[in-house]
């Protein structure tokens, strides 16, 4: 009993912590807690907010775009422009007698020197400007398709959040069942330890009175010590199972967790309903695949609409202050510039880029159609296979329960014969070993049946 006390204390310190908060949860409460606190669920909610923000980001592209601007320029060298020299050639002709006078007395040069230009600096050293410009898409097929795609992308994030919730429910449910099965395993081991301890004490009394040999007692003691080791091992496994369940729930590992539900073995009945086809829409992963297919359709539509013209309206207003003195930029005269306009871009030839994009979108849609059909077949196969595995696990569980009853009866007869001197301790030890093996197989079958039921419900879309 002292060893068992140490086991319980060690398990409590390992799983709950010294300053732990106590929580008593049913399976439903564990699932609800996990939906609110599981990290994957929190991230899925963040993804939904990101998707909603992306929708508004796409909408904003089509709203008026307004920008203010300010600029200050200082020309170290004022730009120079070359103007044709219309005056110097005439003077050159007069001075060199290379011209004649017309009726009005005007000198007409016989020859104008070529390449004569007058360099002229235009502008001021300083030029400050401040203004505002605006633009807005009037029509763009790609934008309209992108707007629809952003809303569909938001729906995809909702589908993925539903799938994450189902995954969370499944993992918590299986974790909860694992702990309950672990508790039952410990109860069976405790019963075995108590029963073997009594048998060992009775054998010791018989040995002390000379009715049995020392070897008979030693064999039972070896079996008893092995049971204590196994008891301690599964107590630690149970503690790890609790830690795993708290991790899946998003619960602090230092908090205690007491499970209030009991195993409902009556609910483990064979599934007699034949599953020919599943309602696919009950499966969030199927809805996610369906939404992904819709995104591919919208991408194909976007590629087609990219051949249409795009129309943008724009306008700007600014005031410029060209000055030769820096101080005059802020106090001198300013000159306004205002313009409005509409720009239409008509695609004519882009090196077959749009054609290739359209071709890729068509292939992606064909691929998503194939994937969706394959996914539906996979769901049907999963539903049927999980039903078969569940029925097999339930049948195996029933057989193991029957084996436990038979092993108990064999042990009872072996102990009765041994106490009456008609049997040997080896028969008792063999019967104890058979019972422990039957109980181990029963626990394994119970765990398998519970997990198979969860998998079957998930395959049929019943976990929401």
The reported pTM is 0.77
SS3 readout for the chain: CHHHHHHHHHHHHHHCCCCCCCCEECHHHHHHHHHHHCHHHHHHHHHHHHHHHHHHHHHHHCCCEEEEEEEEEECCCCCEEEEECCCHHHHHHHHCCCEEECCCCCEEECCCCCCCEEEEECCCCEEEEEEEEEEEEEECHHHHHHHHHHHHHHHHHHHHHHHHHHHHHHHHHHHHHHHHHHHHHHHHHHHHHHHHHHHHHHHHHHHHCCCCCHHHHHHHHHHHHHHHHHHHHHHHHHHHHHHHHHHHHCCCCCCCCEECCCCCHHHCCCCCCCCCCCCHHHCHHHHHHHHHHHHHHHHHHHHHHCCCCEEEEEEEEEEEEEECCCCHHHHCCCEEEEEEEEEEECCCCCCCHHHHHHHHHHHHHHHHHHHHHHHHHHHHHHHHHHHHHHHHHHHHHHHHHHHHHHHHHHHHHHHHHHHCCCCCHHHHHHHHHHHHHHHHHHHHHHHHHHHHHHHHHHHCCCCC
* Contacts (Cβ under 8 Å, ≥6 apart) of 417: 423, 427
* Dist CA 377 CA 362 (whole Å): 23
Helices 425-459 + 141-208 axis angle, to 10? 170
* Dist CA 203 CA 192 (whole Å): 16
* Dist CA 418 CA 22 (whole Å): 48
Q: Read off φ and ψ for residue 47, nearest 5 degrees.
A: -60, -35
Tens digits of pLDDT across the chain (464 residues): 444 434 443 444 444 444 445 678 999 999 999 999 999 999 999 999 999 998 998 889 889 999 999 999 998 888 888 777 665 555 555 445 555 555 566 655 544 455 567 777 788 888 999 999 999 999 998 888 888 888 888 899 999 999 999 999 999 999 999 999 999 999 988 988 888 888 888 888 877 777 777 887 888 888 889 889 988 999 999 999 999 999 999 999 988 899 998 887 777 888 777 777 788 989 999 999 999 999 999 999 999 988 899 999 999 999 998 888 888 888 888 889 999 999 999 988 888 888 898 999 999 999 999 999 999 999 999 999 999 999 999 999 999 999 999 998 988 888 888 777 777 778 888 888 888 899 999 999 999 999 999 999 999 988 87
The two three-digit tokens of residue 158, written as one number: 């909702």
The two three-digit tokens of residue 13, written as one number: 């310190």
Q: Say if CB 263 and CB 181 are below 8 A apart.
A: yes
Q: Read off φ and ψ for residue 185, nearest 5 degrees.
A: -60, -45
The two three-digit tokens of residue 84, written as one number: 């044709």
223-244 burial by CB neighbour count: b if 16+ within 10 A, else e?
A: bbeebbebbbebbeebbebbbb
Q: What is the pLDDT of residue 115?
A: 56
Q: What is the pLDDT of residue 22?
A: 61
Q: What is the pLDDT of residue 309?
A: 92
Q: What is the pLDDT of residue 6?
A: 41
Q: Say how many C-beta atoms besides its own lie within 10 A of residue 207's C-beta.
A: 16
* Dist CA 246 CA 232 (whole Å): 22
The two three-digit tokens of residue 55, written as one number: 């929708």
């Amino acid at each position: 009993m002292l060893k068992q006390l140490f086991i319980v204390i060690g398990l409590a310190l390992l799983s709950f912590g010294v300053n732990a908060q106590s929580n008593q949860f049913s399976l439903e409460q564990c699932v609800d807690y996990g939906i609110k606190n599981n990290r994957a669920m929190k991230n899925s909610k963040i993804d939904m907010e990101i998707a909603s923000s992306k929708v508004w980001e796409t909408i904003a592209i089509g709203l008026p775009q307004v920008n203010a601007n300010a600029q200050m320029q200082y020309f170290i060298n004022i730009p120079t422009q070359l103007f044709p020299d219309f005056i110097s050639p005439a003077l050159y002709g007069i001075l060199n007698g290379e011209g004649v006078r017309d009726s009005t007395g005007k000198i007409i040069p016989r020859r104008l020197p070529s390449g004569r230009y007058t360099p002229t600096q235009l502008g001021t050293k300083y030029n400050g400007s401040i203004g505002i410009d605006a633009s807005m898409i009037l029509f763009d097929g790609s934008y309209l398709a992108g707007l629809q795609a952003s809303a569909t992308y938001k729906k995809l994030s909702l589908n993925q959040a539903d799938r994450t919730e189902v995954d969370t429910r499944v993992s918590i449910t299986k974790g909860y069942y694992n702990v309950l099965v672990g508790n039952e395993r410990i109860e069976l081991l405790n019963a075995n330890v108590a029963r073997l301890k009594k048998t060992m004490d009775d054998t010791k009394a018989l040995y002390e009175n000379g009715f049995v040999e020392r070897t008979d007692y030693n064999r039972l003691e070896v079996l008893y010590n092995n049971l204590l080791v196994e008891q301690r091992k599964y107590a630690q496994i149970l503690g790890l199972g609790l830690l795993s369940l708290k991790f899946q729930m998003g619960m602090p590992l230092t908090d205690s967790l007491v499970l209030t539900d009991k195993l409902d073995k009556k609910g483990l009945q064979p599934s007699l309903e034949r599953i020919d086809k599943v309602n696919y829409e009950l499966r969030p992963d199927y809805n996610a695949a369906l939404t992904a297919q819709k995104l591919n359709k919208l991408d194909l539509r976007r590629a087609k609409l990219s051949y249409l013209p795009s129309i943008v309206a724009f306008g700007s207003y600014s005031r410029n202050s060209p000055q030769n003195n820096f101080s005059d930029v802020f106090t001198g005269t300013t000159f306004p510039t205002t313009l409005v306009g509409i720009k239409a871009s008509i695609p004519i030839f882009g090196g077959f880029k749009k054609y290739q994009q359209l071709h890729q979108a068509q292939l992606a849609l064909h691929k998503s159609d194939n994937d969706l059909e394959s996914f539906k077949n996979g769901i049907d196969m999963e539903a049927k296979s999980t039903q078969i595995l569940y029925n097999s696990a339930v049948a195996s569980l029933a057989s193991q329960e029957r084996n436990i009853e038979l092993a108990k009866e064999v042990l009872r007869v072996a102990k009765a014969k041994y106490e009456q001197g008609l049997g040997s301790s080896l028969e008792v030890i063999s019967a104890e070993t058979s019972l422990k093996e039957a109980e181990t197989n029963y626990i394994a079958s119970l765990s398998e049946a519970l997990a198979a039921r969860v998998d079957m419900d998930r395959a049929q879309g019943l976990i929401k």
